[in-house]
Amino acid sequence: MLIELVLSMALVVTTAVFHGLGLLTIGRSLRALDRGAVDVELNPLSKTGAAYTSFVVLGLLALAGIEIWFYAIVYLAIGATATLAASVYFSTITYAAIGFSDASLAAPWRLVGAIEGINGVLLLGWSVAFLVGELQRVRHR
């Protein structure tokens, strides 16, 4: 169990740091787009508002996808799953806390999967908070 906990902690720290850097990159990219913008409200239903929102959402989806694939590759490397497809599927349903019971990890690694679920929920919540904050900031820039 100690090996599972150490591996889980390493995965959580790695994905949290990566997520933070990803949000920082998205945020700085948005600030670069804002340069020269006057204090005008950006309508989210305008083409510019929709493009802005789409950029943020696609960036957040890319972050989640990279983190899911990271877990999947680790699962495959440690022999917790038999195929890459099974690893990606398990990681996706676990990260998003969907939790279908039709896929599982090898018994010695199940705790890692459970901790991925907690990690995924927190990172997705962080992404939602970032999205809401960005939309509020843009609306009142």
Check pLDDT > 70 for residue 39: no
C-alpha distance from residue 4 to each of 8, 68, 110, 111, 124 (Å) = 6, 18, 8, 6, 23
Rounded percentage of the chain residues whose pLDDT exceeds 90: 59
What's the domain count of the chain?
A: 1
Domain encompassing residue 38: 2-139
Question: Which pLDDT score is estimated for 16?
Answer: 97
Q: Which of 67-76, 88-97, 110-119 has the highest mean pLDDT?
A: 67-76
- Whole-model pTM? 0.86
| Residues 134 and 74 sit within 8 Å (Cβ to Cβ) | no
Q: Is the pLDDT of residue 107 over 90?
A: no
What residues have CB less than 8 Å from 51, skipping those under 6 apart?
none
Mean pLDDT of the chain: 88
Amino acid 36: pLDDT = 59
- pLDDT at residue 18 tops 60: yes
